[in-house]
Amino acid sequence: MSSYSLSSMESCNWVLKYVSILLVFSIRLSCSTSETFNPSLLERVTNDTKVLHRNFTAISEFRMINRKILSDCSASNPFISVNVTSNCSLSDEGFVTVTVSGVSTPSKYDWVAMVSPTTSDVDSCLLKEFFYLQTGDTAKLPLLCHYPVKAQFMNKDPNYISCKNKECKKYEKGKCVISTCSGSIQFHVINIRSDIEFVFFSNGFIRPCLVGRSTPLSFANPKSPLYGHLSSIDSSGTSMRLTWVSGDMKPQQIQYANGKIVTSTVSTFSQADMCSSVLPSPAKDFGWHDPGYIHSAVMTGLVPLSTFSYRYGSNSVGWSKQIMFSTPPVGGSDELRFIAFADMGKTPLDASEEHYIQPGALSVIKAIASDVNSNKINSVFHIGDISYATGFLAEWDFFLHLINPVASKVSYMTAIGNHERDYIHSGSAYFTPDSGGECGVPYETYFPMPTSAKDKPWYSIEQGSVHFTVISTEHDWSKNSEQYKWMQKDMASVNRQKTPWLIFTGHRPMYTSGNGFLSSSSNFVEIVEPLLVQNKVDLALFGHMHNYERTCSVFQQECKALPTKDKNGVDIYDGRNYSAPVHVVIGMAGFSLDKFSSNKNSWSLKRISEFGYLRAHATRNGLNVEFVVSGTKEVKDSFHITK
């Protein structure tokens, strides 16, 4: 893989209409330089956003818009005007109103795209004809060359189709002979550094016809330091890494703990670092967006299980707000409270369609933020399928913005998934294009974990009484592989007197009743599962399947032990008489939910298909685990492992 240092750098129509009206009229325009969500805004949109976006997960007409024949309809619409207004300057976050006026015949197929950068060629691909022919794309030119960041149909304004906003454009003898219509829709915009533009199309997503465009809009400060997120670098609880994004390549600082200062190292990645094939990947081609510069610095001299404040930036580019964060407990101490989940992605805060939308992400991160703000959570583990950008690079910024209320306050640890790493002929264990050509490069740049080297995204860390072994199911795990030998050594070396709990995490599950595709290979289970039993792994956490499922103490498809129930009906696993690990699939944090097979395996004890997350409390003698439904905060499953 290429170096990526500084030097080489996704209901019914009435429901949709109802929610759209709420989004357009109930949300007050807000512009804020704050990196956290406005709570009232979240309250207004969270309950509706899952319904609004659930039909736009994965493949949709919008996702397939690139390479469509693009006609020019501007000549037949001489009165068209596309204007963008906001109640403030284009700041780091806010809602803008896009008004399209001069429309002669409003149609349900009219739509507006947000495009960035404004230099993107949305007119034609004439200069790239030979390039397209090489990919096997013989569609008539011109084509829509650059993928829009997001888009909305104009009928999100309920007055648009009925033409309630009418304007006369031509009078004859005092009588109006030509009148036009207008409509307004709102877009949630965050600072992605490059200029943005709103382009009005007719004919829907199948045969888009360019009608008009706004003037380019610039962010007030493209160099703003944004989207800071924390991670642990070791098991000491005394050092924390902060990673953030800026449009400025010069080193910046973290000011923390009442007077301490540390300077950032700066990295980025470029199109040249992305993977591709005979058919160009999104990351290499129409999904590319400049990531700016990724800053990272380590705060040292901290105290475990303590609270500190920090801000990051510089005098030249500005500073983040002051943020309070908590350090995790030192490895080997008595207690840890953590949250775990997988397959989150992001959900728009507006009524937009995007190439890949995860309808439950907003409700899940909101519920987790509530737990984190209660000061009862020490760390978070996100086990693969992080942003689902999959080669549409601007979506990393939207994901980082989404998790900021959580990741800026506690250690946010991650594992790599198929949608971060897999691509054909790239060295991944699975022969799929799931990363859209990213091949792990953006993931490892945005989320530097305590790994040994680039593209070796496995590591272990100890917090409180827990040893976490974090692997990559997307890299070679065969018996002669480097990762297998590392797993073997890491788990065998755990001092169970110091950290009595051993939790194993990876993205693709060993046990699932879902109807998913390529959950994991049988070879993976055959080769790696014995290591779990040999080293007395207590709990194995996986994602990939978009639901929640808990097993008995299972090995080789057989229950080696069943839990008993306490007086409250909670399942109790006897960890003092160890037989095999408990497996839990926790891929229900955002992506459209998977249904379960009608056949229930003997090892499957609990199956829930609702959005939520895992919440755990480990002491030296017990591990309490809960599945929390994000929309209601109801605990739908709980179990306890004794030690």
Choose the weakest-confidence range: 1-10, 181-190, 208-217, 490-499: 1-10
Looking at per-residue pLDDT, the higher value among 203 and 330 belongs to 330
pLDDT, position 232:
98
Could you tell me which residues come within 8 angstroms of residue 271 by beta carbon, excluding any fewer than 6 positions away?
283, 284, 288
Grade residue 120 by pLDDT with cuts at 50, 70 and 90: low
pLDDT, position 514:
77
In angstroms, rounded to a whole number, what is the distance separating the alpha carbons of residues 289 and 495? 45
In angstroms, rounded to a whole number, what is the distance separating the alpha carbons of residues 382 and 506? 10
In angstroms, rounded to a whole number, what is the distance separating the alpha carbons of residues 439 and 427? 9
In angstroms, rounded to a whole number, what is the distance separating the alpha carbons of residues 232 and 413? 7
Query: How large is the angle between the packed helices 361-373 and 39-53, nearest 10 degrees?
Result: 150
Q: Give DSSP secondary structure letters for 27-82.
A: SPP-EE--SS--HHHHHHHHHHHHHHHGGGSSS-TTTT-TT-B-EE-GGG-TT-EE
pLDDT tens, position by position, 277-324: 877 788 888 789 999 999 999 999 999 999 999 999 999 999 999 999
pLDDT, position 137:
45
Q: Give DSSP secondary structure letters for 247-280.
A: S--S--EEEETTTEEEEPEEE---GGGS---SSP
Looking at per-residue pLDDT, the higher value among 333 and 148 belongs to 333
Average pLDDT score over residue span 330-338: 98
β-pairing verdict for 379-383 and 336-341: parallel
Average pLDDT score over residue span 549-553: 98
pLDDT, position 43:
45
| Token reading at 270 | 């470029």
Q: How far is CA 612 from CA 94, 361, 381, in A?
A: 27, 9, 14
Q: Give DSSP secondary structure letters for 555-572.
A: ETTEEEE--EE-TT--EE
In angstroms, rounded to a whole number, what is the distance separating the alpha carbons of residues 490 and 469? 7
In angstroms, rounded to a whole number, what is the distance separating the alpha carbons of residues 481 and 485? 6
Grade residue 71 by pLDDT with cuts at 50, 70 and 90: confident
Length of the chain (residues)? 643
pLDDT, position 323:
98
Beta-bridge partners for 629:
612
Picking from 501, 488, 495, 572, the residue whose alpha carbon sits closest to that of residue 532 is 488
Picking from 594, 635, 596, 643, the residue whose alpha carbon sits closest to that of residue 614 is 635
| Token reading at 481 | 């592989």
Q: What's the chain's average pLDDT?
A: 87
Looking at per-residue pLDDT, the higher value among 242 and 522 belongs to 242
Looking at per-residue pLDDT, the higher value among 551 and 38 belongs to 551
Could you tell me which residues come within 8 angstroms of residue 540 by beta carbon, excluding any fewer than 6 positions away?
503, 504, 505, 510, 532, 581, 582, 583, 584
pLDDT, position 55:
36
pLDDT more than 70, % of the chain: 84
Average pLDDT score over residue span 421-441: 91
In angstroms, rounded to a whole number, what is the distance separating the alpha carbons of residues 343 and 544? 6
CA atoms 507, 413, 609, 579: torsion sign? positive
pLDDT of 550 strictly over 50: yes
Average pLDDT score over residue span 245-256: 98
pLDDT, position 14:
30
pLDDT tens, position by position, 579-618: 999 999 999 999 999 999 888 899 999 999 999 999 999 9
In angstroms, rounded to a whole number, what is the distance separating the alpha carbons of residues 362 and 141? 39
Choose the weakest-confidence range: 47-56, 77-86, 136-145, 445-454: 47-56
In angstroms, rounded to a whole number, what is the distance separating the alpha carbons of residues 126 and 132? 10
| Token reading at 401 | 């913005």
For the entire predicted model, the pTM comes to 0.88
Average pLDDT score over residue span 134-156: 69
pLDDT, position 64:
59
pLDDT tens, position by position, 12-67: 333 333 333 333 333 333 333 333 334 444 444 444 445 544 433 344 566 656 65
Residue 612 near residue 629 (C-beta atoms within 8 A): yes
* Count of CA atoms in the C-beta half-sphere (13 A) of 433: 14
pLDDT tens, position by position, 453-510: 999 999 999 999 999 999 999 999 999 999 999 999 999 999 999 999 999 999 999 9
In angstroms, rounded to a whole number, what is the distance separating the alpha carbons of residues 613 and 337? 13
CA atoms 60, 63, 67, 69: torsion sign? positive
Residue 465 near residue 333 (C-beta atoms within 8 A): yes
pLDDT, position 522:
81
pLDDT tens, position by position, 360-419: 999 999 999 999 999 889 999 999 999 999 989 999 999 999 999 999 999 999 999 999
Average pLDDT score over residue span 221-225: 97
pLDDT, position 68:
61
